[in-house]
Amino acid sequence: MAAASVGIFEGHQDVGTVLHAGDVQYDAAKQTYTISGSGENMWLKTDAFQFVWKRVFGDVMLTSDISFIGTGGNPHRKTVLMIRQSLDADSPYADIALHGVGLTSLQFRLEKGALTQEVEASESAPKRLRIVKRGDYLYMVLGDDSSLHASGASIKLPLHGDFYVGIGVCSHDKDVVEKAVFSNVSLMPLATSTSKLVLYSALETVAVASTDRRVSYVADGRFEAPNWTRDGKAFLFNREGGIYRLAVDGGKPALIDTGFAKQCNNDHGISPDGRLLAISDSSTEGGQSQVYTLPIEGGMPQRLTAKSPSYWHGWSPDGKTIAFTGQRDGEFDIYAIPAAGGEETRLTTAKGLDDGPEYSPDGRYIYFNSERSGHMQIWRMAPDGSHQEQVTFDDSNDWFPHISPDGKWMVFLAYEKDVTGHPPSKDVTLQLMSMADGKVSVLATLFGGQGTINVPSWSPDSSQLAFVSYQMLPGEALSAN
């Protein structure tokens, strides 16, 4: 059972089954909490750890410095800042887990008894950690004594009524007890109604096999639409009219020279041989988007489409044809044009919006999204526009189909059924369809929409997908206090 209050917390106890009881010592003079905890793990469907908690309601943020006592032990021993629906071992929860090796991640279980997932931070062993709950979203904020910054990791986890917030330790070895010190601990309510919100963009990757995510890059403001280069070494994305290159293993983005094209939007992509970049830019033609190609390392764009607006979306596997969306006479349809230049060919004629064309890796189909059925769904057709057929049949509004390079998977962006168009700042899911049997599963749930996966973003080995998520963080969540 829970013990008496400890510092700012109401009690503590072991959650789940442990062989060695945990404990906490509170030093009122130093205002530190030394927690000892056992437990086999905090993962999969159940948890086992020592938890020091307080029951709360509403929006909150919990902050602490954390340091392990002693060296060695299991490299994945964990200290956590946690928000948890209940004290059941299989409860829904989210935590910031600082591992013994420095790995730091936002871990979460979305439903009671579900499998644990995570969003891994790009940095290791931060000194100061903060978990923020604002509405149904939880955020990981990291830093040191003087400053805190957005990690880019966030998840949606609706909690019902009151819940538990606190700190904990898991040894990740059922036969061992580990200790850690939590200092400079603060637990504060978050006044969301008066908070100034700051937009952050995070370039993430998600693994198909595990659905675990990792933040590769985060920045304030908006950037969009990552491509993954054919050699697997870099991402391309657009921001404020420019196209940027970012190494997959980290660093700072570098602006690609696109000549006069200074108003590039989020419809860009890479040729099958990796040598050319297609962009959609509105620097000319009275602000109407046109499709251009240029060397992938940068250079002077060569105009491909004669009419506007036109938005690039797909490249045929042999590199000879480009598929794009164009508005002609008030209708948005899908067109094809030789990559070397020439006349455009209209491929769709149905009333309503057709968008997002992308070739399958074998060249047999062009996949696209269309609202001809009454709401936006995924369709496909032969490259000449014949044999158009519906692929998804659901209540959501489905956009931007992308086929994995090995042809085994299709990912698409799903909005809730009452959302019109593809706006930003919405609750969305990345849906994964098996091309073998048509079964669909959720790859990721996030705050996003426009800019998340407008363009092809599979890794060359088809094991991962790159996308952009967005966070609206209240200003006080980033204060150093």
Per-residue pLDDT tens over the stretch 177-205: 999 999 999 999 987 656 689 999 999 99
Task: Summarize pLDDT for 132-162 with one digit per residue, the tens.
Answer: 999 999 999 999 988 999 999 999 999 999 9
Cα dihedral 329, 265, 233, 118, rounded to 10, equals -100
- 366 and 334 together in one domain: yes
Task: Summarize pLDDT for 346-360 with one digit per residue, the tens.
Answer: 999 999 999 999 999
Mean pLDDT of 434-454: 98
CATH classification at residue 183? 2.60.120.200
- 108 and 19 together in one domain: yes
How much is the pTM? 0.96
Question: Any idea what the Cα angle at residue 16 is, between residues 10 and 18, rounded to 5°?
Answer: 105
Question: Is 92's pLDDT higher than 50?
Answer: yes
> Which domain range does residue 157 map to?
11-194
- 128 and 92 together in one domain: yes
- 224 and 318 together in one domain: yes
Question: Is 171's pLDDT higher than 50?
Answer: yes
Single-letter amino acid, residue 281: D
- Whole-number mean pLDDT of the chain? 96
Residues 6+ apart with CB under 8 A from 194: none
Examine residue 120 and state whether it is found in any structural domain, yes or no: yes
Is the bond leading into 226 cis (omega within 30 degrees of zero)? Answer: no
Tokens of 219: 């920045």
- 419 and 297 together in one domain: yes
Residues 6+ apart with CB under 8 A from 72: none
Could you tell me the CA-to-CA distances from 296 to 230, 292, 367, 444 in Å, in that order? 11, 12, 25, 30
Tokens of 91: 């409860």
- 308 and 427 together in one domain: yes
Instruction: Using the 3D structure, point to which of 194, 213, 248 is the last residue of a domain.
Output: 194
On the CB side of 479, CA atoms within 13 Å amount to: 13
Q: What is the DSSP string of 51-109?
A: EEEEEE-S-EEEEEEEEEESS-S-TT-EEEEEEES-SSTT--EEEEEEETTS-EEEEEE
Examine residue 4 and state whether it is found in any structural domain, yes or no: no
How many domains does the chain contain in total?
2
- 206 and 183 together in one domain: no
Examine residue 414 and state whether it is found in any structural domain, yes or no: yes
| Residue-level pLDDT at 4 | 77
| Residue-level pLDDT at 191 | 77
| Residue-level pLDDT at 481 | 78
Looking at the chain, the whole-number percentage of residues with pLDDT higher than 90 is 95
Mean pLDDT of 435-453: 98
Task: Summarize pLDDT for 334-349 with one digit per residue, the tens.
Answer: 999 999 999 999 999 9
CATH classification at residue 314? 2.120.10.30
| Residue-level pLDDT at 214 | 98
Single-letter amino acid, residue 77: R
Residues 6+ apart with CB under 8 A from 404: 208, 361, 410, 411, 458, 462
- 134 and 149 together in one domain: yes
Question: Is 1's pLDDT higher than 50?
Answer: no
| Residue-level pLDDT at 194 | 62
- 363 and 330 together in one domain: yes
| Length of the chain counted residue by residue | 481
- 259 and 301 together in one domain: yes
Backbone φ/ψ region at 462: left (φ over 0), alpha (ψ -120 to 50), beta? left
